[in-house]
Amino acid sequence: MKIALGVTGCIAAYKAVEVMRGLQKRGAAVQVVMTSSATQFVAPLTFQAISGYPVISATFAPTDDPEIKHIQVAQSVDLLLVAPATANALAKFAHGIADDFLSTLYISTTAPVLVAPAMNVEMWAHPATQENVRILRERGVYFVDPGEGYLACRTVGAGRLAEPEEIVARAIEIIEKSQTRPAGEGSATPLTARGTFVGRYNKDLAGEHVLITAGPTYEAIDPVRGVTNRSSGRMGYAIAEAAEARGARVTLVSGPVALKPPGGVDLIRVRSASEMYSSVMEHLPASTIVVMAAAVADYRPVRAAGQKLKKGQETFVLEMERTEDILAAAARARSAQVLVGFAAETQNVVENARKKLAEKGCDLIVANDVSAADAGFDVETNRITLVTSEATREMPLITKREAADVILQAALDVRSKQTSLTEA
């Protein structure tokens, strides 16, 4: 297998040497492509000595090779990996700017592309960078998201290059899956997540109306206090982004979250379980796929105080009542919609998911262990298990955006099986 390793200009460039060594240990031949800025941090000779290949750092460097170099590399590699990828590189890739060898290589290759961003925390959080990331994800580009920690700029936060072992493992995984692509798939169709193939501009959900719930609900105790949970809404928002990118009309019913909604979706903001129930039941008839990713409060105060409750007794008893069971209600009211529920568990994950599948009457349950540090709340990754009446499918650790495509594909697979049974 052959990998083009793009190295861009930031202090994390030195870690690209470890990434290259890790790829070589897994049997990959590595062609290094450096931007001119990257050469200010690590000398090209370092990569050349270890890789055994001349490093490409200029588009028009003299050569005895009659081939057009960027096309030759673009057509010969199994993966383009950019690690580290700066904010500038992401912007170029997102907007088709091809003014150096690496950006020209990106726009020329039909191989899968994996990027591992690294930059200052404010640069990573900037709306322009996040928009560029969104654009690239929609086009099928894979990400190994940056971690949090102490950065070279003497700040602490997200932006630190992912660990080299993690990048290497992800790269090899993508190549192995792309090489087992189903017959008939062309090389221009990248793998989205562990066996789900979606073209960069594939609109396989065109004509669908996907109804999605996301985030927590908030049940008021008094005007300043309430009962809620730790859901960030990231998984539901990722599903909304993926569905819109694949051509669906998307209605996103969201509890209170601190997330920017994906472009092109119909966003309905709600607060309580009762409000979410009303909105879901209103939009259910027009939907074709329903994904209930919200973490709805199971109980609410029987009476919410009109004024702030003052501190008094040493103990305080709050009388609670059950909230609306939105998933079960949707299952009873639906017609032909595919219904996907979620089970956030801390123990007996699959067992509890199977029980929920039977009790709620939905077609698919997406279960995950929310006590896991890398797959619970407020992280960009997830480790999901897809549970249907026929099978259980465990997924490895993937990003929530990749998990979103897996979940949508699973919903389509469920409907395909239902259609086959109906026609039989």
Question: 189 with 227, same domain?
Answer: no
306: which residues sit within 8 A by CB, 6+ positions away?
Answer: 222, 223
pLDDT given for residue 371 in this prediction: 86
Cα(181)–Cα(423) distance, integer angstroms? 28
Q: Report yes or no on 225 lying in a domain.
A: yes
Q: Which range of residues forms the domain containing residue 46? A: 2-197
The CA distances from residue 372 to 68, 147, 233, 349, in Å, are 48, 16, 17, 12
Distance between CA 58 and CA 22 in Å, rounded? Answer: 25
Residue-wise pLDDT tens for the chain (424 aa)? 899 999 999 999 999 999 999 999 988 999 999 999 999 999 999 999 998 889 998 765 555 454 546 677 888 899 999 999 999 999 999 999 999 999 999 999 989 999 999 998 889 989 999 999 999 988 889 998 888 665 555 565 667 898 999 999 989 988 887 765 443 333 333 344 333 334 333 578 989 999 999 999 999 999 999 999 989 999 999 999 999 988 999 999 999 999 988 888 999 999 999 999 999 999 999 999 999 999 999 999 999 999 999 888 888 899 999 999 999 999 999 999 999 999 999 899 999 999 999 999 999 999 998 888 877 777 888 889 999 998 899 888 888 988 999 999 999 999 988 876 666 5
For the question of whether the overall pTM of this predicted structure is more than 0.75, the answer is no
Residue 424 confidence (pLDDT): 56
- 191 plus 213 within the same structural domain: no
Q: Is 362 a catalytic residue?
A: no
Catalytic residue among 11, 50, 153, 305: 153
105 and 251 part of one domain: no
- Evaluated on CA atoms 416, 362, 365, 259, the torsion sign reads positive
At residue 327, the pLDDT reads: 97
Determine how many CB atoms are found less than 10 A away from the CB of residue 22.
Answer: 20
User: What are the structure tokens assigned to 120, written together?
Assistant: 């200052």
- 399 forms beta bridges with 381
Q: How many domains does the chain have?
A: 2
Q: Are 58 and 102 in contact (CB under 8 A)?
A: no
**In-domain check, residue 203:** no
DSSP string of 160-179, one letter each residue: EPPPHHHHHHHHHHHHHHHT
In the sheet that holds 113-117, the strands lie side by side as: 29-34, 2-7, 79-85, 113-117, 142-143
For residues 263 and 329, membership in a common domain is answered with yes
Sign of the torsion formed by the C-alpha atoms of 236, 161, 245 and 202? negative
Residue with tokens 């007794």: 313
Q: Judge whether 38 lies within some domain.
A: yes
Domain containing residue 46: CATH number: 3.40.50.1950
Q: Pick from 197, 223, 238: which residue ends a domain?
A: 197
86, 118 in Cβ contact below 8 A? Answer: yes
